[in-house]
Amino acid sequence: MTRFRSADVIDRARAEGRSALIAYLPVGFPTLDRSIDAAHVLTQSGVDAIEFGVPYTDPVMDGPVIQQAADIALKNGTRPRDVIAAIDELSGRDCDAALLVMSYYNPILAYGPDAFARDLAAAGGAGVITPDLVPDEGAEWIDAAAKHEVDRVFLVAPSSDAQRLEYVVRSASGFIYAASTMGVTGMRASVGSRARDLVDRTRRAGAERVCVGLGVSTGAQAADIASYADGVIVGSAFVRAILEADDRADAHRRLEALATELRRGVEGA
């Protein structure tokens, strides 16, 4: 098992003259096995990193598409330990992608921050994105992640001022997740115009790698973001592809086609 870190795949993409392509998928949707297979399809179709979502009962930052998928995963009995198992399974396949977790903090707190970081690292995981945890309140998690060499990825938003950006950059590792708009996740006709300014300001605050998410669903949008960001994060569009599929094979075809379109976008930026 080779463990690819966030910086590894972002820097690899940079060396190829492009931004990294990062995909989000909820674990346990539509089943645990199928979520692992879907992630594998994406890693074989040009995706550089996977964010495995931990389904949560109060997803305040998720839009309707991801909420629907998370509801299905929860009804299947998916728990944080299944996310660790999914990463362990995928890291053992022919996979050169970084494997991360996207989770609200309560499931990690219930699992135990040190135990979660330990088990994630042992499974081949690269890091954790915690959208509702600010560094000011994350000392226990920051210490646990550093101890087990797990990336701690925090979010910044268009409303973040220079002082806040500098604090987040000092507290994070791997990359900074720049939310392109204020609001919940979901596909949008256009990505927030303030994203470029946010990336520039975050770099001035000291960030080496800044990736942009929330709203990306087309190759054209991916190309636009790839022209100024180090990574393009896509979630709802991949989840919708699975929701609208007739069966497993159709889901894989849709995922491969979308990943190929997005990869061409980041390569052509």
pLDDT in tens, 126-137: 999 999 999 999
Active-site pick, 51, 89, 224, 267: 51
Q: What value does the mean pLDDT take over residues 72-85? A: 96
For residues 207-231, give the mean pLDDT: 94
* DSSP bridge partners of 3: none
Catalytic-labelled residue, pool 62, 82, 119, 151:
62
Per-residue pLDDT band for 57 (boundaries 50, 70, 90) equals confident
Q: What is the mean pLDDT of residues 186-208?
A: 80
Work out the percent of the chain whose per-residue pLDDT is above 70.
94
Separation of alpha carbons 220 and 73, rounded Å:
31
Is 51 one of the annotated active-site residues of the chain?
yes
pLDDT of 115 above 60: yes
According to the model, what pLDDT value does residue 192 have? 52
Specify the pLDDT at position 181: 60
Confidence at residue 185, expressed as pLDDT on a 0 to 100 scale = 46
Would you state the CATH architecture of domain 6-152+215-266? Alpha-Beta Barrel (3.20)
Annotation says 230 is catalytic: no
Residue 186 pLDDT? 42
Q: Residue 173, SS3? A: coil
CA distance 267 to 251: 24
Query: Is residue 103 within 8 Å of 57, Cβ to Cβ?
Result: no
Quote the pLDDT of residue 2. 74
**Cα separation values, 260 from 16, 56, 218, 228, Å:** 17, 30, 10, 20
Per domain, the residue ranges of the chain are 6-152+215-266
pLDDT higher than 50, residue 122: yes
pTM of the model: 0.93
pLDDT at 183 over 60: no
